Structure 1
Amino acid sequence: SVSLSAGDVIYVSSESTGFTSFFGFAPDYTTGAMSINGDDAIELFENGIVIDTFGDIDTDGTGEAWEYTDGWAYRVDNTGPDGGFVLANWTFSGITQLDGTTNDLSAVPFPISNYSLTTQEFNTTSNFNIYPNPTNSGFVNITTKANTAVTVTVYDVLGKQVLSKTLNNNTLDVTSLTTGVYILKLNQNGTSTTKRLIVE
């Protein structure tokens, strides 16, 4: 476990020697969990909850639009975390693009530390309020500072989309959801954030 602040970048690799030789600097952490082969989906957890997913965890990515064998996938600026996988929020090198002896000599080098999440985007999370949370009433209220429709996409802890609605009255019907923890992606007027919802 490690705490990070907005804007921090860390590098996690399956090993250090090859990473350092290829990129010119050492990874911050090494772990066998990073032994991925270019067609594996990846989940990001925060406090035991999946907050972001890359790829479809139930699908071999070979031949899929999100395959990254000998290449890379990189999140589009000012997007995420999405809870589930949103292909449009990622950009790709294409496969077999990192075959150079170093990143700089590869056909399409990995974009090191270029991701940007603007301060305005990051601070908008306070614009969305959800209550009651936890809920056992079959609904939750979603309020914002703006008086326009809110698009809500709900993901389960495995990153599977289970509900999608556009709200004009601030009330989300969750009677179709079973007891558990969910991730809500909220979007309004181009501003988006994610929230955790507990259904009892």
Structure 2
Amino acid sequence: TVFGERKGRFGHLREVGVGGFVPAVEQEERGTWVVVHLYDPSVDRCYTLDDTLSRLARRYPDTKFIRVRASALGFATKQPSSSSTRAKPSGIRRATRTIREDDDDDDPFGDEKSGFVGRHEDDESERSSDEDDDNVDTDMLPTMLVYRDGELVFNWVRVDFEAGQAGIEELLLRHHVLPTSGAQNNCGLPSDDELFDDD
């Protein structure tokens, strides 16, 4: 292990496609928190949240952090015949209810175990995903879902507003998603945040 990093089961923000979403959320040990970032690649504030979640994943390696395109899950899709938006927070209460059985082969992000992320230019599922991105109401993003034991516990639409000035880490600590002792196991050395703090 690299000096200063904690050992844990996870330790990074991992992208999953529609086929990997249900296993990523439901097939964990009891009591494991899974933080899911629903994003769209065209939204800058989603990249900001990715940076924050990547840092948190390294600091709290026993919490699982994943991200998935909102369009892959059909979240916040615009109705084709009107300008209204259909958010699906109640439809993702249980992860298995959101994914159709025939979508298992649509995961364009490769094999989870090998860490390989592959894309094929002629991949039909990827083209349809790009088309679906145009139907996502980006005003609802970034959205963050938090699961435990396969059940949706928290659903924060525009989590950046919800977190406010205190930030995402404080929001997750306040709701006991992150262990309060997680950042303290640093061999007595200050964290990166403390090193570069001007106070």
Give the TM-score normalised by the residue count of structure 2.
0.23
Please state which structure has a larger fraction of its residues in helix: 2
Larger Rg: 1
Please report the TM-score for the alignment, with normalisation by the length of structure 1.
0.23
Q: Higher relative contact order at CA 8 Å, sep ≥6: structure 1 or structure 2?
A: 2
Which structure is higher in strand share?
1
